[in-house]
Structure 1
Amino acid sequence: MTEVMSRGAFLSNEKDYNHATDKQYEILRKKADRAFQQKQHFSSESQRAYKQGNGAAAKKFSEQAQKYAQEAENYNRQAAEYVFRENNLDSDCNDIDLHGLYVREAQYILKQRIINGISRNEHHLECIVGKGLHSKNGIAKLKPAVEQLCNEAGLKNYINPKNTGVLIIELAGARIPASWNDVNPNGIGAMNEHQNVPDDDHVQLQGGQPYQQPYQQQPQYQQQPQYQQSHQQQNAHQQSMFEQLNTPQNQKIAAQIFKAICACIK
């Protein structure tokens, strides 16, 4: 029976994507780790030089640390974008797969997806977080992080009873939390219906952590101080002009003009 079942050709060469065996993903993450280690090294050297009173050396080491921090950021960004695209190329419109992302990367991208889902009046979102099989010591990190994100944002969520690696997030009637105003809604997590993963959008990550871009239009409460300052300056200018005109000589001239007008009326 086994021999019979093993016969025949595979009609499809497609395989489920697994980031754990993806060399490109592994290379990018390792490059980021090495750059981060260099950043840590030069940061320590900078602090040591500063304590020894060598300001020039401290500055030099600090600049090196910043250089490697930026390098680590770039590699982690590339890895996050790459693995997210690979995982979501064939995803359904209401699915998002967060496998292979660091916790804060996943949280930021998920915020983008939720914002777009609410804007499109979607009913729910199935968030694939996994069971922690690839996590250190087999302890799941993404699922509790996503649950916490949803709970803090007031989004109803529950584990799919048929698959414990999937978290279902209710979007019907949900509102975008005000605390998410600094999330760029047009990033890689937008995943519109016609093209699940935009190729030309980039989610900017900083050292494995999301860099949250503000909306182009700043919130109104941030514009108020500028308005108040302008209004105060205008009032001060008007007050200054009044003081310049309100002199004894000008008052005398005004009184003479007033008397002349009264004489004409009579």
Structure 2
Amino acid sequence: MSAQTERRIIGDDYNHATDGEYKKLRDMAHKEYERRKELSQKSQQAYKSGDGAGAKQLSEEAKKHGEKMDQYNRQAAEYVFRENNTDSAHDEIDLHGLYVEEAEEFLGQRIQAAMQRGDPVVKAIVGKGLHSSGGVAKIKPAVEKLCNEHRLRHHIDPKNAGVMIIELPNGPQQPGQVYQQPGPQQQPHYQQQQHQGNYQGNQYHQQQQQGQGKNDNLLVNILCFCINKFLK
């Protein structure tokens, strides 16, 4: 872990909670949210009272405020992500200041890029929930869920509870070993070879192909996940 990352985790570096620009963008998004909510309620009331035209107009106005809300939140997410990750190592990603869906999207993109580079791990700085409402961590369980959905091995850094290390299936396969994604009734990852000669060589080649195929499928799944997040 880089020294820059260690400083961010303990709070000696950039802090989104005190950043005026970040707070302004989130506040603007919240105001648009409140306005959308208000107009949506009025639209429902108009519809119930028989004013279909008025209900439609109010609904359209609410939709516009919802779009503005999304724009401000997107600007805030891109801003805080840039500030947090300017000096990050290539295998690190700081998710502080992001909402859950934003964090999932950025992390999915980073995992995809890391797999294409052949990186063995991604170190996600998920924090400890200190800035979350009620002090309850939201990013960490979301990242765990994402890893479980894509069957990526992961664990908390024993040196820092605010960092999750995500293992990527990119390491070179040893003879007689093949990466297998976790699942019910899974066979052992490492199978002892009992036969020698050409049979062993052919089996190793087949296992390499199987491992590469699973890696490709994982990349496709993560890409689809990122696209779905973007289109929401």
SS of residue matched to 2:122: strand
Pick the aligned partner of 1:35 from 13, 32, 49. 32
Deviation at 1:71, TM superposition (A): 0.6
Deviation at 1:108, TM superposition (A): 0.9
Q: Which residue of 1 aligns with 2:70?
A: 73
1:32–1:76: 8 Å Cα contact kept in structure 2?
yes
Letter in 2 for 1:136: S
Deviation at 1:56, TM superposition (A): 1.1
Q: Give, in whole Å, the separation in 2 of the partners of 1:113 and 1:125.
A: 8
Q: Give, in whole Å, the separation in 2 of the partners of 1:106 and 1:119.
A: 20
Q: Gaps (5+ residues) in structure 2? A: 1-11, 171-213
Count how many residue pairs are aligned between Structure 1 and Structure 2.
Answer: 176
Q: Which residue of 2 aligns with 1:86?
A: 83
Deviation at 1:179, TM superposition (A): 3.6
TM-score, normalised to structure 2, is 0.72
1:46–1:58: 8 Å Cα contact kept in structure 2?
yes
TM-score, normalised to structure 1, is 0.63
Q: Gaps (5+ residues) in structure 1? A: 1-14, 186-208, 214-266
Say yes or no: does 1:21 pair with 2:18.
yes
Q: Give, in whole Å, the separation in 1 of the partners of 2:164 and 2:50.
A: 54
1:183–1:212: 8 Å Cα contact kept in structure 2?
no
Q: Give, in whole Å, the separation in 2 of the partners of 1:75 and 1:37.
A: 14
Deviation at 1:210, TM superposition (A): 3.8
Root-mean-square deviation (CA, aligned residues, Å) is 1.8
> CA offsets per residue over residues 24-76 of structure 1, 9 Å max, x none?
00000010001011001111111111111101100110111011000100000
1:153–1:177: 8 Å Cα contact kept in structure 2?
no
Say yes or no: does 1:211 pair with 2:208.
no
Q: Give, in whole Å, the separation in 1 of the partners of 2:69 and 2:57.
A: 19
1:238-257 alignment to 2 at 5 Å?
A: none
> CA offsets per residue over residues 181-201 of structure 1, 9 Å max, x none?
43558xxxxxxxxxxxxxxxx
Letter in 2 for 1:180: I
Q: Which residue of 1 aligns with 2:112?
A: 115
Q: Give, in whole Å, the separation in 1 of the partners of 2:33 and 2:226.
A: 26
Q: Which residue of 1 aligns with 2:45?
A: 48
Q: Give, in whole Å, the separation in 2 of the partners of 1:82 and 1:92.
A: 18
Runs of 4+ in structure 1 displaced over 6 angstroms? none
Deviation at 1:136, TM superposition (A): 1.0
Over the matched positions of the two proteins, sequence identity in percent amounts to 50
Q: Which residue of 2 aligns with 1:180?
A: 222
